[in-house]
């Protein structure tokens, strides 16, 4: 179990509401649907009501500081079946990238790759006490686009399984991982862009995943755990369980 999964859930049973494409930029077609993820009649572009309201606040704050810029939604609500699909897909892709054969993996190799996968993907648990954050409708993966609709360069793509995904990877004086050839001026710009995104989201009450620059949540177990880390004297419970 991850530390945040020990947080109690006191479900408020808010509905899921659609993320309107005329307000936010949406990644279309949806990246996981393109891969064949089994959404069925579910849409990934939904969030809980209060989470969506706070996302609108984040957008308003962003546009005050950077007129014309918009939050782009990469992913939001994720049914449990999709979480399982993406874990399996990422596992298979990691096996391929390491030059291994899926059917010939030793148990040690399998466990090593699973450990890598679960650093970036929540376990697709059906336990109501440990739901994946995206399956609660309270987590959202986002980036930024400018007034022309062009993507703002964050220095690494969403879902990249590498140290570059850490929110502060490009901070001044940060350690570069092997193969990273980014110029210092580019690194500073990437960090500035990530800070703009973080500022917009956290000013609306969201909290950022410690290891993923793109992942923010409000009201789920991860959010509650991060709130408790900021102020240990205050007990915070999660508002949203799995849907």
Residues annotated as part of the active site: 212
DSSP H/E element including 26: strand 25-26
What count of other Cβ atoms lies within 10 Å of the Cβ of residue 17? 15
What count of other Cβ atoms lies within 10 Å of the Cβ of residue 180? 15
Whether residue 44 contacts residue 134, with contact meaning beta carbons closer than 8 Å, is answered with no
Residue 155, Ramachandran bin (φ over 0: left; ψ between -120 and 50: alpha; else beta):
left
CA-to-CA dists, residue 203 to 57, 154, 192, 196, 198, angstroms: 8, 19, 16, 11, 8
176's CB contacts (< 8 A; 6+ apart) are 182
Six-digit token string for 85: 């699909």
Please list the helix, strand and coil fractions of the chain in percent, rounded to the nearest 5, in that order. 40, 10, 50
Give residue for tokens 């993406």.
Answer: 86
CA-to-CA dists, residue 24 to 55, 187, 220, angstroms: 9, 27, 22
Q: CA 198 to CA 219: how far, in whole Å? A: 17
Whether residue 75 contacts residue 32, with contact meaning beta carbons closer than 8 Å, is answered with yes
Six-digit token string for 181: 């050839």
């Amino acid at each position: 179990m991850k530390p945040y999964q020990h947080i109690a859930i006191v479900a408020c049973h808010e509905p899921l509401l659609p993320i309107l494409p005329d307000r936010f930029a949406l990644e279309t077609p949806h990246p996981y649907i393109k891969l064949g993820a089994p959404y069925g009649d579910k849409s990934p572009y939904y969030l809980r009501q209060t989470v969506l309201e706070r996302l609108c606040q984040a957008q308003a704050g962003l546009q005050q500081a950077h007129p014309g810029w918009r939050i782009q939604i990469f992913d939001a609500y994720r049914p449990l079946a999709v979480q399982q699909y993406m874990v399996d897909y990422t596992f298979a892709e990691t096996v391929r990238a390491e030059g291994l054969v899926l059917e010939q993996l030793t148990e040690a190799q399998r466990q090593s790759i699973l450990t890598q996968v679960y650093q970036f993907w929540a376990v697709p648990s059906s336990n109501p006490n440990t739901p994946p954050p995206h399956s609660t409708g309270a987590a959202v993966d986002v980036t930024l686009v400018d007034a022309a609709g062009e993507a703002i360069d964050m220095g690494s793509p969403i879902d990249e399984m590498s140290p570059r995904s850490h929110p502060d990877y490009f901070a001044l004086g940060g350690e570069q991982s092997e193969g990273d050839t980014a110029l210092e001026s580019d690194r500073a710009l990437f960090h500035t862009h990530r800070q703009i995104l973080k500022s917009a989201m956290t000013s609306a009450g969201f909290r950022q995943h410690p290891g993923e620059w793109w992942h923010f949540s409000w009201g789920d177990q991860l959010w509650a755990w991060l709130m408790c880390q900021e102020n240990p004297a205050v007990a915070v419970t999660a508002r949203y369980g799995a849907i």
